[in-house]
Amino acid sequence: MAEKDLKILHQIMSSEQQLLQRTDQKAYTLLSLIGVFMVFFIVHYTKIPGYLSIVILTFFYLLSALISIAYLMMVIVPRIRDVHIEAGEGQVSVNPTFFAGIIRHKTAEELGRKLQDLAGNEGEQFKMFTSSLYSIAHINAHKSKYLQRAIISFIITITFELAIIFTLYVHLFREKVLPLGM
């Protein structure tokens, strides 16, 4: 029964790790898109007349772009807390399957001994993998929350950029610089 339980934990952990990868890919893609839109905007900004409405929209555009970037950074570089598992009788042991626990071992041999000790104890293995799964799920929740916020902020950023373009065309049309039929 314990082997079946461990197999299920491995499947769940694999699924959670795939979610982590997909979330990171989405964040990198959004960050790239923001960069592309901002480069185009900055290149053409010098050609835009300084109407008050465009200056105000530009301020909000840049503010929302910075907020988007901040949210994306929270996705790409999440806060990681140390993860421990109970070793029995109130003692706390470092989880050797989670990277924060792996790097706490002074040598590879020490990590190997710890993993070897756990290999023969299915109960401890179950605790260890459950702890890792719990940690990964918390990281996924954190990343997903900030990815959702980044997507909303990105949409607002693009909306401001389109509003700047629209406002520019309205001003140019009113000044008869831009004919209606083009």
pLDDT at 81 (0 to 100) = 60
Query: How far from each other are the two terminal CA atoms of the chain, in whole angstroms?
Result: 75
Q: Could you give the percent of the chain with pLDDT greater than 90?
A: 38
- Would you say residue 166 has pLDDT above 70? yes
Residue 83 confidence class, pLDDT cut points 50, 70, 90: very low
pLDDT tens per residue across span 85-140: 444 454 445 566 666 677 777 888 887 887 777 777 777 777 777 777 888 888 88
How far apart are alpha carbons 38 and 1 in whole angstroms?
Answer: 56
- Comparing 88 with 5, the larger pLDDT belongs to 5
Taking the CA atoms of residue 8, residue 11, residue 13 and residue 14 in that order, the dihedral angle to the nearest 10 degrees is: 170
pLDDT at 2 (0 to 100) = 60
CA-closest candidate to residue 144, choices 136, 134, 132: 136
Pair 164, 59: CB distance under 8 Å = no
DSSP 42-66: HHHHTTS---HHHHHHHHHHHHHHH
Pair 58, 164: CB distance under 8 Å = yes
- Would you say residue 39 has pLDDT above 60? yes
pLDDT tens per residue across span 16-29: 889 989 999 999 99
Residue 34 confidence class, pLDDT cut points 50, 70, 90: very high
How far apart are alpha carbons 178 and 160 in whole angstroms?
Answer: 22
pLDDT at 47 (0 to 100) = 83
